């Protein structure tokens, strides 16, 4: 029982990071209809940018925000310079996926050239621990969980309480109708890539902080967990991705504790395959609802 409770704590901490990345990934897809495989490479870039800034003496949480802003801008530029022209030339859904895969490989190669293939370490950041009810968290994990909750709540307010959020939901539901209603859908998509890019950058730094030691493959590996969380919750459903991230984080940690740490990725793959076979729309999408629909938020 003690092992289970302790593992549950690790799973919640891991799930918070997965949720942070998965929400950005699924919102990006839900509004722009692009399954952006480059998302994982951008997370890797964020982790290494954070490493560089930390070595310059900046506080890790200042670094998290700064890197989030940099990746947000890079994400929006990537969409505007690379993906938008492809869509303008009639590239279909599969063509765009192939394009993002190619871009991810190129970006990962650039990172290897710049930073090298060896693993690097953030060192112990806020290593004090806090325990209660059998759960043990490091201070860094608690802060990351708090930041994740705050960002998710902010996203909820944006989607439900603002004109921009309503425009984002309308663009997700039907871009043509939204444009006919006077919504500048291209600007909404640019804003979406900025917002989700920030979540991607923040998740990259948070992942590196909790992992401590990482290499150029960190984002690509973590992308498996984010896709599994997104599919579990329902692609395009931000609240589903939040819950899916927690489920994937907890189950993968339980698998590592009771099976083997080497098979954490296997657990994520099993969840992904099971959901695709049993309920491909996800647990939180009602039958008949368009997979890209954010209108339920």
pLDDT in tens, 132-169: 666 767 777 788 888 888 888 888 899 888 999 899 98
- If one compares 57 and 26, the residue with the highest pLDDT of the two is 26
Radius of gyration of the chain (CA): 19
Average pLDDT of every residue of the chain: 86
pLDDT score, position 22: 93
Distance CA(122)–CA(49), nearest Å, equals: 11
Domain boundary assignment for the chain? 2-278
- How far apart are alpha carbons 144 and 142 in whole angstroms? 5
CA–CA dist 18, 21 (Å, integer): 5
Q: 0.95 cut: is pTM over it?
A: no
Q: Which tokens go with 86?
A: 């492809």
Give the mean pLDDT of 249-271: 83
Q: Which residue has the higher pLDDT, 2 or 168?
A: 168
Which of these, 270, 291, 229, 285, lies nearest to 93 by C-alpha position?
291
CA–centroid distance for 206 within its chain: 11
Residue 173's pLDDT band (cuts 50, 70, 90): confident
CATH number of 2-278: 1.10.3470
The structure tokens listed for 231 are: 């599919």
Residue labelled with tokens 């690790």: 10
Question: Residue 281 pLDDT more than 90?
Answer: no
Structure tokens at 99: 């394009």
Helices (H), the chain: 2-32, 38-55, 60-78, 84-88, 93-115, 139-161, 163-173, 175-180, 185-211, 218-233, 238-258, 264-278
Per DSSP, 263 falls in state: G
pLDDT digits (tens, 9 = 90+) for 5-17: 777 878 888 899 9
């Amino acid at each position: 029982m003690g092992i289970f409770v302790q593992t549950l704590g690790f799973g919640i901490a891991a799930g918070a990071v997965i949720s942070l990345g998965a929400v950005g990934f699924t919102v990006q897809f839900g509004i722009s209809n692009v399954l952006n495989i480059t998302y994982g490479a951008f997370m890797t870039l964020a982790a290494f940018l954070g490493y560089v800034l930390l070595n310059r003496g900046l506080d890790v949480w200042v670094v998290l925000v700064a890197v989030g802003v940099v990746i947000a801008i890079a994400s929006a530029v990537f969409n505007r310079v690379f993906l938008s022209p492809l869509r303008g030339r009639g590239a279909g859904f599969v063509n765009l996926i192939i394009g993002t895969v190619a871009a991810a490989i190129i970006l990962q190669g650039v990172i290897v050239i710049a930073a090298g293939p060896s693993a690097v370490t953030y060192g112990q950041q806020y290593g004090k621990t806090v325990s209660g009810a059998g759960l043990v968290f490091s201070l860094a994990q608690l802060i990351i969980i708090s930041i994740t909750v705050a960002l998710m709540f902010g996203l909820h307010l944006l989607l439900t309480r603002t004109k921009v959020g309503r425009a984002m939901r309308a663009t997700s539901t039907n871009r043509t109708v939204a444009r006919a209603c006077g919504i500048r859908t291209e600007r909404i998509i640019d804003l979406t890539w900025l917002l989700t890019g920030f979540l991607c950058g923040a998740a990259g730094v948070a992942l590196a902080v909790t992992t401590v030691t990482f290499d150029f493959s960190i984002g690509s590996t973590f992308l498996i967990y984010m896709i599994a969380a997104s599919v579990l919750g329902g692609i395009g459903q931000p609240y589903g991705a939040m819950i899916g991230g927690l489920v994937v984080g907890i189950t993968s940690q339980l698998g590592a504790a009771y099976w083997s740490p080497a098979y954490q990725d296997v657990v994520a793959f099993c969840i992904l395959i099971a959901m695709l076979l049993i309920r491909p729309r996800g647990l939180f999408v009602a039958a008949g609802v368009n997979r890209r629909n954010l209108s339920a938020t």
